[in-house]
């Protein structure tokens, strides 16, 4: 007999062999907490929304005073309003995609919807990074275009300093900050995708190559 | 209302729980993993149950959620699981019904299945459950033609694993 037929024969016999759970055991089971990928993605996405949405609130007030002195307040206020409008759009898209995840769909559709939901949040993070970069370029441009004012603001006591050296330090500090931020983000995404989504994306790719 | 639904679900589940055991059999190879996956599938079934309309068979609905959980949603967890005695199941192969060659062949067969990819496991599971290609293609979300091609490849692969 062919091995597959043998397997099928054996497969059909196994029904009687599994332990039957009692009513109470099933009751206990359904009240346990799920550890599904979707649940984790949901938690992580919400955390990302809160992190990027709240990061502005961490900026100390003294910064705003500096911005005000540098005549940057209008541009900062404008970008804040724009930023929160965009955040709301992202939250709506996330909610819409998350709601579309349905465990009764076919395997490939389910995977597609999970990946789509996750991608929405990725775009949200990309948006934040790009926005940060653009904004710092604009602010730097404005700041450095009026060097006298800049030195005044950062050196209110008018201590004797080397202006060139001061600008270099300011610029290098900003670049280091940016590199560290991008490095941390890269690490974070390696972890998220490595641990959480590798299996899912691999399986999805297998289905995609099939079609 | 929730109590009614809960009662209805548990009674239905009790009658069909073998389906879940069989999914776990294909996707896991030890008792602890089996129980953990069983638990996650049960939770997913219960979460989806309020939306179950009864327009498809409950068993079909269970196949889908079972496989989707195993392939897509499930992550090994560190939570403690309800332990049950699966030893009888796992060692049943050694019972006297089989002669040694058959027993050996089956062991190899299950070992070979555990080496397949998650998607291939789903196909072989549905094949063992006597599902037709239409149902297989709908469950996985691929075309019927591709399901056939893929199934033939898996069968060939299993045969070559067993007869190198």
Residues A102-160 have pLDDT tens digits of: 999 999 999 999 999 988 888 888 888 888 888 888 878 887 787 777 777 777 777 77
In the predicted model, what is the mean pLDDT of residues B36-55? Answer: 90
When CB atoms are compared, the residue of A23, A103, A211 closest to B68 is A103
Q: Which residue has the higher pLDDT, A1 or B127?
A: B127
Q: Which CATH number characterizes residue B119's domain?
A: 1.10.10.10
Hey, are the CB atoms on A104 and B51 less than 8 Å from each other? yes
In the predicted model, what is the mean pLDDT of residues A163-174? Answer: 82
Extract the tokens encoding A203: 């399986």
**Would you state the pLDDT for residue A69?**
77
- Is B54's pLDDT higher than 90? no
Return the residue of A nearest to B156 by Cα: A4
Compute the mean pLDDT over every residue in chain A, rounded to the nearest whole number: 83
User: In the Cβ-directed half-sphere of A170, how many Cα atoms lie within 13 Å?
Assistant: 18
- Is A211's pLDDT higher than 90? no
**Would you state the pLDDT for residue A80?**
82
B50 lies in the same domain as B1 = yes
b/e map A134-172, b = 16+ CB within 10 Å: eeeeebeeebeeeeeebeebeeeeeeeeeeeeeeeeeee
**Would you state the pLDDT for residue A201?**
87
Cα A188 from Cα A170, distance rounded (Å) = 27
B71 lies in the same domain as B104 = no
Which of residues 82 through 111 in chain A touch B, CB cutoff 8 A? 103-111
B5 lies in the same domain as B81 = yes
Domains in chain B: how many in total? 2
Cα A80 from Cα B19, distance rounded (Å) = 54
Cα A154 from Cα A82, distance rounded (Å) = 28
B129 lies in the same domain as B159 = yes
Contact in structure between A151 and A166 (CB atoms under 8 Å): yes
- Is B91's pLDDT higher than 70? no
B12 lies in the same domain as B63 = yes
Q: Cβ of A5 under 8 Å from any chain B Cβ?
A: no
Boundary residue ending a domain (B37, B67, B90): B90
**Would you state the pLDDT for residue B100?**
66
**Would you state the pLDDT for residue A1?**
53
B138 lies in the same domain as B73 = no
Residue range of the domain that includes B105: 99-164
**pLDDT tens, position by position, B8-23:** 999 999 989 999 999 9
Model confidence at B43, in pLDDT bands (50, 70, 90)?
very high
Boundary residue ending a domain (B58, B90, B122): B90
Least confident of A44-48, A164-168, B84-88, B141-145: B84-88
The percent of residues in chain A predicted with pLDDT above 90, rounded, is 15
B104 lies in the same domain as B161 = yes
Hey, are the CB atoms on B17 and A20 less than 8 Å from each other? yes
- Is B53's pLDDT higher than 90? no
Cα A185 from Cα A175, distance rounded (Å) = 15
Hey, are the CB atoms on A26 and B13 less than 8 Å from each other? yes
B13 lies in the same domain as B61 = yes
Model confidence at B24, in pLDDT bands (50, 70, 90)?
very high
In the predicted model, what is the mean pLDDT of residues B36-47? Answer: 94
Cα A36 from Cα B163, distance rounded (Å) = 38
Hey, are the CB atoms on A103 and B119 less than 8 Å from each other? no
Q: Which CATH number characterizes residue B72's domain?
A: 1.10.1740.10
Quick one: DSSP state of residue A58?
G
């Amino acid at each position: 007999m062919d091995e597959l037929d043998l397997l099928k024969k054996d497969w059909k016999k196994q029904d009687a062999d599994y332990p039957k759970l009692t009513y109470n055991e099933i009751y206990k089971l359904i009240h346990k907490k799920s550890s599904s990928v979707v649940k984790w993605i949901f938690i992580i996405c919400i955390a990302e929304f809160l992190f990027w949405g709240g990061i502005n609130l961490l900026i100390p007030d003294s910064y705003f005073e500096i911005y005000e002195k540098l005549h940057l307040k209008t541009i900062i206020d404008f970008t804040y309003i724009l930023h929160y409008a965009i955040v709301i759009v992202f939250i709506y898209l996330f909610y819409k995609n998350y709601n579309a995840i349905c465990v009764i769909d076919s395997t490939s559709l389910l995977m597609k919807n999970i990946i789509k939901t996750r991608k929405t949040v990725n775009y949200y993070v990309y948006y934040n990074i790009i926005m940060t970069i653009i904004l710092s370029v604009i602010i730097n441009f404005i700041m450095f275009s009026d060097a006298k004012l800049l030195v005044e603001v950062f050196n209110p006591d008018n201590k004797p300093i080397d202006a060139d050296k001061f600008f270099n330090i300011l610029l290098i500090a900003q670049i280091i900050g940016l590199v560290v931020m991008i490095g941390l983000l890269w690490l974070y995404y390696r972890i998220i995708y490595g641990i959480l989504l590798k299996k899912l994306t691999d399986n999805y790719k297998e289905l995609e190559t099939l079609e | 209302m929730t109590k009614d639904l809960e009662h209805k679900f548990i009674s239905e589940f009790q009658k069909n729980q073998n389906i879940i055991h069989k999914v776990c059999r294909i996707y896991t190879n030890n008792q602890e993993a089996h129980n953990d996956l069983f638990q996650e599938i049960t939770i997913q079934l219960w979460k989806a149950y309020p939306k179950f309309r009864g327009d498809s068979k409950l068993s079909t609905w269970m196949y889908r959620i079972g496989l989707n959980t195993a392939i897509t949603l499930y992550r090994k967890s560190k939570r403690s699981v309800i332990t049950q005695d699966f030893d009888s199941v796992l060692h049943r192969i050694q019972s006297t019904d089989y002669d040694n060659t058959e027993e050996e062949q089956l062991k190899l067969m299950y070992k070979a299945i555990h080496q397949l990819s998650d998607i291939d496991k789903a196909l072989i599971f549905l094949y063992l459950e006597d599902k037709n290609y239409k149902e297989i293609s709908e469950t996985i979300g691929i075309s019927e033609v591709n399901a056939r091609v893929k199934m033939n490849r898996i069968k060939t692969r299993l045969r070559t694993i067993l007869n190198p």
